Amino acid sequence: MARRLPRHVYHLAEAANWPSIQRYGLLPAQVLVDRSGIKGRERAHLLGEQRKRHVVLAGGYELRDQRPMPPEALARCLVGMTPADWYRLINAHVYFWPDHARLNRQRTACGVRPQVVLVVDAESLVARYGSRTVLTPINSGHARRRPAVRGAATFVPYEAWLADGWASEAAALQQKTRSSSHRPAELAVEGPILDMTRYLVRVVELAGDRPFVPA
C-alpha cells in the first residue's frame, strides 16, 4: 500500500513566538531553553520534568505546559524509558498536525491565548528534512485516561513509515502492528527548522478561542 502524507500539515504556535519564528525559524523547546541561556538545574527541570504551567523564557519565548503528560501516567505506559527520557525526547522535536481537527483540540487547550496556525507544504518540508522527520501513531503529548503504550520507537522515521508503516513501532514495543490504514497523528522534526518560512503556504491568526478552519 502506497503511503502518502496529506498536502498540508499544521503547526500551532503561540502568537508571541511568531516574530522569533520569522527571524530564527521554528525551534524545539530544547533550543528555546538554550537560546535563553538557561543551564543547570533549571534547564533539567524545563526539559526533563513535566511543565505544569505555561512558561515565558528570557527573550519572550513561550513554552506550553505539559499537563496532559503527568509522570505517573507516563510511568505506566512507557517501554524502555523513564518519564524524564520521554520529556527530553518530546522537547527535542517540533510538531505538525496532519489533521486540523487535532490542531483544534490543542487550540482549545491553549485557552484564550492568541495563536497562529502555520499551514505548511508537507512535500517540500520532508524533501528538505526527511532524514530528521518522524511520524507518530498517537498524540505523543497526551498520556491521560488510558494512555497508549509508547517508547522511542513511537517516533517512526519517515522513510521507515513509507516502507513498512508502523511495523518498527510494533516490533520494538511488542505490540500488535497497526493497520496500514492507521493515519499518522503527528509529524515531527528533530531539531530546528531554521528556514521555516520557505515551507509556509499561509499563516492564520487566531484570537480568543477562535478555532482554525482550513481553506
Q: Would 116 be classed as within a structural domain?
A: yes
Q: Would 104 be classed as within a structural domain?
A: yes
Domain region containing 104: 8-206
Task: State the virtual CA torsion across 209, 145, 182, 90 in degrees, nearest 10.
Answer: 70
Q: Would 214 be classed as within a structural domain?
A: no
Give the model's pLDDT for residue 1. 59
Three-state DSSP state, 63: strand
The answer to whether residues 115 and 12 touch, using CB atoms and an 8 Å cutoff, is yes
Using CA atoms, how far residue 181 sits from 8, 133, 178, in Å, is 19, 20, 8
Q: Would 213 be classed as within a structural domain?
A: no
Give the model's pLDDT for residue 74. 98
Query: What are 150-160's pLDDT values in tens digits?
Result: 999 999 999 99
Q: Would 2 be classed as within a structural domain?
A: no
Q: Would 94 be classed as within a structural domain?
A: yes
Kindly tell me the number of DSSP H helices and DSSP E strands found in the chain. 9, 9
Give the model's pLDDT for residue 145. 86
* Cell numbers describing residue 80: 524502555
The answer to whether residues 139 and 162 touch, using CB atoms and an 8 Å cutoff, is no
Give the model's pLDDT for residue 178. 97
Please state the domain count of the chain: 1
Query: What are 41-73's pLDDT values in tens digits?
Result: 999 999 999 999 999 998 899 999 999 999 999
Q: Would 1 be classed as within a structural domain?
A: no
Q: Would 81 be classed as within a structural domain?
A: yes
Residues of the chain below pLDDT 50: none
Of the candidates 147, 129, 127, 102, the residue with the CA atom closest to the CA atom of residue 188: 129
